[in-house]
Each structure stands twice: as C-alpha cells, then as structure tokens.
C-alpha cells in the first residue's frame, strides 16, 4: 500500500487484491495524515511488508529523515545569508544559490535513499526494486560538487571546529547526522545480511558527509569568517612539565655555551 509520504513514515503500496483504492495500476494517496495502522508498533516497508518499528531498517530511515530536516534548516539559513549579501557581492550570491539548489536536490535524493532502504532485495518484487533503484551516479555528482567547491577553499592543515557562522554550524550538524545515518546503515547490513543494503546507498551517504563538511567550510569562507581550528588544551601540570622541560633544554644550551664560548649559534 502507498500512503501519504511524511518523511519516510509509512511508505507502501495498495494491492488490488485486498483494497479497492488500487485500481488499474494507479496509486491513490490518502488525504489523512493519520491511519492508526502503526498503533501497535509496526510499520510498512515499500513492498507492503510490515515490521516492528525498532527494526534496523526504520533506524536508518529515521536518521535519514532527521538529516533531511536538518538540511532544511541549513537551506533556510543560506537563503537568509543570500538575501543579506545579494546587493553587494554577486559572485558570493551565485555560489550560495548553487549550494541551496544542491541541498534541495540532496533532500530529494534522501527520499530515494529511504525508498531503497525500505525495499528489501530478498522479499521485494522486481517491480518494487525497479521503482526504488539507486545509482552510483548520484555519488559521482556529489564528488563533482565537492571538487568544484574545494577550489575556493584553503588547504586543510588543522582539524576544523564546528562554527564559522550559523549556516556553517548547521551544516556541521548535518554532517554529524549523516555520519550517524551511515553507521546505522552499516549496522543494518551486519544484522540483516549483505543483501539488505545497496552498496550505492552506502557510497552516497559516505560521500555526502564529505560534501557537507566542504560546504560548511565554504559557508564560512563566503561570510568571510575565520575558521576555528583545534588547539590542544593543556592542564596546569602539563604546563609545569613543559616549563621544566624547557628549563632542562636551556640548561643544556647554557652549558654548551660555557664549553664553547666563542662558537656562534645560528
């Protein structure tokens, strides 16, 4: 059965064998947001199969849905940033507009990811598998975007701390949620078997976190904000040890000068 698609909640098909809504291979959408079919803790996959809501598949779908929601926040923050600078910097405005379009495309692709994950290869018909297929071409597109945006950035020399403006910070949140989605997908594969996960989906989520890290840095660059980098925080004891070590080195250097007073140290 196919019902209202709210994120990844309750995606399934109506069968003409048991429901009059499915007629002549046409899909009908319910106008109601609630159906009560999940009140007992189960939900339907894309092929109509019902499983517990704690099934690993729904853990992946939930994380991917959450990622799309966070991307929506990042997108709106970029829209605000674009509005702020569009009258003063055309190039930066065009770059932001491009990233906004990319993020919207990614949100659409995440729905496709959900459909693919919710269509088990071992229990789904060929028709369902064809409708839910996912290609590595989408990962290639991400790589092209990453390479294009990286041209505007300084080479990485340090660990970057989340920050650098609201949109950049939110994109780092998206990156973190994306990494969790990938971990959930790996766990699903380990629990349900190799055939439960499409490698193309795995590739896409792995590359998507790289894309999000890149556009987070790009957002900071566009706002002309300095990136915050990792610096090791030492304790007072460590500082004392370092000072003692420096004193030892100074003593050795002093003794060297005493033994060789005429030698120039360069």
pLDDT at 247: 52
Neighbour count for residue 124 (Cβ, 10 Å): 19
pLDDT at 129: 81
Rounded CA-CA distance 106/117 in Å is: 16
Locate all alpha helices (DSSP H) within 118-198, ordered by sequence: 126-131, 137-150, 166-192
Cα-based distances in Å from 212 to 106, 114, 184, 192, 221 = 11, 19, 18, 29, 14
Question: How far from each other are the two terminal CA atoms of the chain, in whole angstroms?
Answer: 80
Question: Which structural domains are found in the chain, ordered by start?
Answer: 53-222 (1.20.1200.10)
pLDDT at 261: 43
pLDDT at 5: 39
Rounded CA-CA distance 185/191 in Å is: 10
Which residues, listed in sequence order, are joined to residue 9 by a DSSP beta bridge? 6
Encode the chain (266 residues) as per-residue pLDDT tens digits.
333 333 444 433 333 333 443 344 444 555 788 888 888 898 878 777 888 788 888 999 999 999 999 999 999 999 999 999 998 899 999 999 999 999 999 999 999 999 999 888 778 778 888 888 999 999 999 999 999 999 999 999 999 999 999 999 999 999 999 999 999 999 999 999 998 899 999 999 999 999 999 999 999 999 999 999 999 998 888 776 665 555 545 455 444 444 444 433 33
Of the candidates 14, 98, 67, which has an alpha carbon nearest to the alpha carbon of residue 173?
A: 67
Contacts 24+ apart (CB under 8 A), 12-19: 12/44, 12/45, 12/46, 12/47, 12/48, 13/46, 13/47, 13/48, 13/128, 15/48
Of the candidates 242, 178, 243, which has an alpha carbon nearest to the alpha carbon of residue 209?
A: 178
For tokens 């566009």, what's the residue?
222
pLDDT at 127: 85
Rounded CA-CA distance 81/206 in Å is: 28
């Amino acid at each position: 059965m196919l019902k209202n698609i709210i994120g990844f909640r309750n995606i399934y098909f109506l069968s003409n064998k048991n429901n009059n809504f499915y007629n002549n291979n046409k899909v009908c959408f319910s106008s109601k947001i609630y159906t009560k079919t999940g009140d007992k803790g189960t939900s339907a996959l894309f092929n109509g199969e019902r499983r517990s809501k704690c099934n690993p598949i729904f853990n992946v779908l939930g994380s991917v849905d959450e990622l799309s929601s966070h991307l929506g926040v990042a997108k709106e923050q970029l829209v605000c940033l674009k509005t702020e600078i569009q009258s003063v910097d055309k190039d930066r405005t065009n770059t932001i507009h491009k990233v906004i379009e990319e993020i919207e495309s990614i949100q659409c692709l995440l729905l496709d990811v959900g459909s693919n994950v919710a269509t088990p290869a071992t229990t789904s018909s060929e028709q369902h598998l064809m409708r839910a297929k996912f290609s590595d071409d989408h990962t290639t597109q991400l790589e092209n975007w990453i390479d294009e945006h990286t041209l505007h950035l300084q080479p990485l020399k340090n660990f970057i701390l989340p920050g650098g403006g609201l949109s950049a910070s939110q994109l780092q949140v998206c990156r973190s949620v994306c990494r969790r989605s990938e971990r959930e997908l790996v766990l699903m594969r380990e629990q349900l078997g190799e055939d439960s996960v499409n490698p193309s989906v795995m590739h896409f989520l792995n590359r998507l976190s790289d894309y999000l890290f890149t556009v987070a840095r790009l957002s900071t660059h566009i706002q002309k904000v300095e990136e915050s980098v990792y610096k090791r925080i030492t304790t007072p004891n460590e500082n004392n040890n370092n000072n003692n070590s420096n004193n030892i080195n100074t003593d050795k250097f002093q003794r060297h000068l005493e033994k060789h007073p005429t030698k120039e140290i360069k």
